[in-house]
Structure 1
């Protein structure tokens, strides 16, 4: 395993984190959920973020995804500082630049697999014909071409997670943020999900995965280990 602090693979950073800090107050006591976190991610990298509960992993993902505001520091996506976005700009950035994959899928239960992917594109002004083409293409790509009209209750956990990955990809995001994407599926399905993420990365999609599962982390390009709101290690995986 070799240190990867320099990101010397020749690709320009698609994501830059600079001195990111998040402090909460518990009464009069400050709690540092993130403490001066800095790193860069190149286009097409598949990175896992690991560490014990409370180490700052999910807080970091929330800051990158504009789901919460940092106390200090900056996040840049494709060279643009998104941490300065106002409340009106943030939803547009999330919609166009960031894809989200959650542990418990977060699919709309009344919609079919096709409709769950389609709806992600509606607010981006994509024409209906193109949305239909894109949703069908993505679901077919991840092995659900025969499940387009199935609702989440008619799909297995692994199939639902694949729909959520297709939804995350719908608007061609700069980065995908996945929070414990294999946490609610069995071992066989976990390998399918990891395989999909690796394939997407090989095709140029940038992905950050928060996980407690070191077998998942070991299949990513880099492993960022967090402790007490800081980056304890940033290393290339030796199990790829």
Structure 2
């Protein structure tokens, strides 16, 4: 049975003091025993250490990163390798977030290379896939997502989806206050699971698109939604705790 996973993507927000305070509140909320989900916190790179220390004290809390290089090492100023993340206690890493694709021009092929780098190092990649508003309105949602997933499949990695997570994030619902209906999200999640083949039954597929405490339970009730990749709401301890508790 797939376990619910809730991942927090802090994006480029916070400070050391903010991270320490939020983690203290989050730890207190998780220790109450009212949340059965596994929780991943993905802070900006400078605060991996702060979150890592907190994660050591809470069994269900894991450390994640927001990005990585596809290169193992070398003269790549400003980049961070998979092995470096592993050395810092990171267990999960987001690859192909819509902001990386749209703002920084990351192609599906580059995202696939980052996915492979994470897998090679023993990290669990959280592969983000999703369509823009124009693509949805043109009826291309499933074609776009199939192409993004196929780029990873084309690498021919042994056990591609073992210890990997997929996150469906409709780009039109990120930071806009709009959210796909549970039925819309379920349709795409079911399609993704089919695209993964035999591994689909065991692979966690998260929803990421303006997830809030108010809509989390309804989304999590869908058969193929195994949790959430949470953006803005993960910066508020009580809101994020309520999302985590919705898994129950």
Q: Whose radius of gyration is greater, 1 or 2?
A: 1
TM-score normalised to structure 1 length: 0.41
> Greater helix percent: which structure?
2
